[in-house]
């Protein structure tokens, strides 16, 4: 029983020592998700515009279906762009929270 009490006390102490409030944690989760969603949509719009221009030069409709190679290229480029944006937004949101903590001390 004492081992459980010690574990509960250790978890409570860790929670109380955590400088992040619930709002900080929510911001660190929501901001990167929102930024990633917006950046992904922007990337898709830019891609569709570029593919539309390419299709027009080929004499096709702007919304003509893409081939397998272009679909794979879009998936790879979109994933790479999303990973970069995700890492940068995670670091940015953490930096903003850290800066807020430094100002309140």
pLDDT of residue 46: 95
Give me the long-range contacts of 20-28 (CB less than 8 A, separation at least 24).
20/97, 24/97, 24/100, 27/93, 27/96, 27/97, 28/90, 28/93, 28/94, 28/97
**Surface-to-core class of residue 32, CB atoms within 10 Å of its CB (0-12 exposed, 13-18 middle, 19+ buried):** buried
Q: The whole model's pTM is what?
A: 0.72
- pLDDT tens track of the chain, all 105 residues? 788 888 888 888 877 777 778 888 888 899 999 999 999 999 999 999 998 888 888 888 877 788 898 899 999 999 999 999 999 999 999 999 889 888 876
**Using an 8 Å Cβ cutoff, are 101 and 63 in contact?**
no
- The SS3 assignment for 66 reads coil
pLDDT digits (tens, 9 = 90+) for 5-25: 888 888 888 777 777 788 888
Residue whose C-alpha is closest to residue 97's, from 26, 13, 38: 26
């Amino acid at each position: 029983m004492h081992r459980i009490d010690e574990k509960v006390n250790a978890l409570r102490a860790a929670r109380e020592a955590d400088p992040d409030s619930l709002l900080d944690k929510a911001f660190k989760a929501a901001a990167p998700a929102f930024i990633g969603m917006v950046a992904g949509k922007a990337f898709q719009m830019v891609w569709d515009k570029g593919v539309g221009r390419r299709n027009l030069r080929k004499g096709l409709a702007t919304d003509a279906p893409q081939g397998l190679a272009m679909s794979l290229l879009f998936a790879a480029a979109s994933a790479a762009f999303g990973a970069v944006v995700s890492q940068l937004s995670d670091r940015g949101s953490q930096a903003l929270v850290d800066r807020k903590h430094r100002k309140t001390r």
